[in-house]
Structure 1
């Protein structure tokens, strides 16, 4: 059976949510971000015309587009709107994968026996826009890579069908940047050896690409040739992520306990960023020596930043620990998770803070989670927590 894979993407999602609530923002350059030292989380097409891009420092963006209006991000609003769209699509689609807060893959294989997949998806896109007021684009092809590239070419508020016979003619003239797995470093590496279009990439011997790019070379060659057998993975939401520590001997050492909490926060935050989650609720649990257990939690702005999570966790501990008894167990739990590509609290953190986290994550991913961390989260007698 031939596969029918759709990629749907909400256009300028953060900006569209803001414009839905305030029509006066229509038609003007918008930058979603926080503070003069923050970074661009999203921007409107009017701002992109001047060269503004996501992850660009706000100051640099304002030099390019001084008339842009800066709006502080509202992740609660964006999460709510994302759930609304998800419910509409999930109700109609036999197999749905939510790739991020604003991206979806649909497997419609076999539905052509009853009605055309392309027309059916057009009707679904119209339903999303009618019910939410948010613009959405999509592309239909036989695999995830081609449909995702197609959506990028169809934007804004566009749609495209790329049949099997049209895949190579569609891909060939495009820049290799259009392939989802090609970042700036990979592009520069390919560009230095004269590979700038997908057509050139597709004609390179796969073995040569493997020598240049390592294990990713073969996968990149396959995608350049329109080959992608990755399945649409059913959509699920992770409910929580947690960590607990039971003391060998009941403790009343507050410095040690707070150090443990800080270490837990750092470990869980790194896991959030690695798996691309944001949390909205922080909970702290303590179990006293007599086995009485108490839990306190608080709502926070969506984040996956160590310093934000540890700050709230330590505040909760101070409010929770009132008996002055020895503690048997301490735990930290993060709930209210949102799955997305936004690995940090991009509305609060500065460019310097983002660079620091990205560098720390690279070290941890390469050398292990204990390779680097805050001094406050270390047990210097043994190893990092």
Structure 2
């Protein structure tokens, strides 16, 4: 079996690095990016602040108290999205197929490229090109699978590179903390620590049955990853990857209140699906079909987001710009595309801790009782928008069409 070569690339402290690129005076200084008020949340923090115990998701007020000398910056999602697209384009120009795991994280399968030049040499040249053309620091890990490469990147940081040769995976992983394994969250970590399991070597030496009895269904995956074994494939990045909804009305309508409420309900349903799958969208498209069956669409690029309060107004604004004929409407639709992995962190620049907690609470209720369990008053008249199915389990693009109402 031919040795595979999987590279994992991760931009170092992405938001902070972009701010330092814009303002060189911030270099080597402690920097916090996020909400500016006392109710704000830290979206990103520089390495200089981490030694004070600061981490993303922390209250900005607490972070300021821990590191009073830090420069606090209100982030700009549009700027970060622009640089994310720039890095994507560079990688796309050099690598036949790659996975965009998040706004600042990428995987690529370099297997077979040694027919032309050394894979490690190519990886180093790719990193050098990204740094030269973007001005941003980036690290990579290179190994035979995604998990080991991702862990290696973490060990390479900041702004460095590591190659793990085939056969060296277990010895590389052995001394590292168990929380370095992707999938080991805080609860799992605490459970392992309570059992005296601190480093990966201990898991490597444990019988599979024992780790399964402790960690349940995830035990086998964690045990395999501790051995340096991972078969997860590269998921090729498609710019058009999308989720969408359409609504055909039983009776053609020009009722603006009803149309906008339907569109808002669609936006909220799709945004919930994004958050539930830990995804972000960067393109929004509205579709109108008039009573004479003429169909029009309008599209806009947006900063990466999964937030209702950003996506819903943008959808309605796009609808208002698109609706020009002033005749009855038969169908409206909404699509989110340019989807990548990522969490709510990129939306924290304008949001307070209260807003973050609100989204977490609403999503928790929807996950438990169904998507229609919590609705805005303005969308109550829109029947059966959304569902419980996770569209990201299938192959993109995905269209969720609904019955006439």
Q: Give the TM-score taking structure 2 as reference length.
A: 0.84
Match of 2:372 among 344, 365, 370: 370
State the Cα distance separating 1:320 from its structure 2 match: 6.4
Cα distance in 1 for partners of 2:279, 2:42 equals 19
Say if 1:99 and 1:340, in contact at 8 Å, map to a contact too: yes
State the Cα distance separating 1:53 from its structure 2 match: 0.9
Q: Which stretch of the first structure deviates more once superposed, 107-116 or 292-301?
A: 292-301
Which residues of 2 match residues 177-196 of structure 1 at below 5 A?
Answer: 177-196=179-198
Q: Structure 2: 5+ residue runs without aligned partners? A: 387-405
Cα distance in 2 for partners of 1:137, 1:53 equals 20
Cα distance in 1 for partners of 2:215, 2:122 equals 40
Which residues of 2 match residues 176-255 of structure 1 at below 5 A?
Answer: 176-238=178-240, 240-251=242-253, 253-255=255-257
State the Cα distance separating 1:274 from its structure 2 match: 3.4
Q: Report Cα offsets for 1:94-143 as digits up to 9, x if no partner.
A: 43222111112122223345443223222221122122211111122121
Cα distance in 1 for partners of 2:17, 2:279 equals 22
Match of 2:42 among 14, 22, 40: 40
Cα distance in 1 for partners of 2:140, 2:268 equals 38
Cα distance in 2 for partners of 1:169, 1:229 equals 19
Cα distance in 1 for partners of 2:88, 2:385 equals 40
Match of 1:307 among 306, 309, 314: 309
Whether 1:357 aligns to 2:373 is no
Q: Cα 1:224–1:354, aligned 2, differ >3 Å: closer, same or farther?
A: same
Cα distance in 1 for partners of 2:314, 2:137 equals 36
Which residues of 2 match residues 35-114 of structure 1 at below 5 A?
Answer: 35-36=36-37, 37-114=39-116
Say if 1:57 and 1:351, in contact at 8 Å, map to a contact too: yes
Whether 1:265 aligns to 2:267 is yes
Q: Cα 1:51–1:158, aligned 2, differ >3 Å: closer, same or farther?
A: same
Which residues of 2 match residues 154-193 of structure 1 at below 5 A?
Answer: 154-193=156-195
Q: Structure 1: 5+ residue runs without aligned partners? A: none
State the Cα distance separating 1:256 from its structure 2 match: 3.7
Match for residue 150 of structure 1? 152
Q: Cα 1:144–1:315, aligned 2, differ >3 Å: closer, same or farther?
A: closer
State the Cα distance separating 1:90 from its structure 2 match: 2.5
Q: Which stretch of the first structure deviates more once superposed, 226-235 or 206-215?
A: 206-215
* Count of residues in correspondence between the two structures: 383
Say if 2:281 and 2:340, in contact at 8 Å, map to a contact too: no
Cα distance in 2 for partners of 1:188, 1:64 equals 24
Q: Cα 1:245–1:163, aligned 2, differ >3 Å: closer, same or farther?
A: same
Aligned alpha-carbon RMSD (Å): 2.7
Q: Report Cα offsets for 1:317-350 as digits up to 9, x if no partner.
A: 5676688765433333345x35241336221222
Cα distance in 2 for partners of 1:342, 1:54 equals 12
Cα distance in 2 for partners of 1:175, 1:298 equals 44
Cα distance in 1 for partners of 2:300, 2:9 equals 34
Which residues of 2 match residues 17-28 of structure 1 at below 5 A?
Answer: 17-28=18-29
Say if 2:77 and 2:347, in contact at 8 Å, map to a contact too: no
Q: Report Cα offsets for 1:193-224 as digits up to 9, x if no partner.
A: 22222112222222233233332111111001
Q: Which stretch of the first structure deviates more once superposed, 203-212 or 364-373?
A: 364-373
Match for residue 13 of structure 2? 12
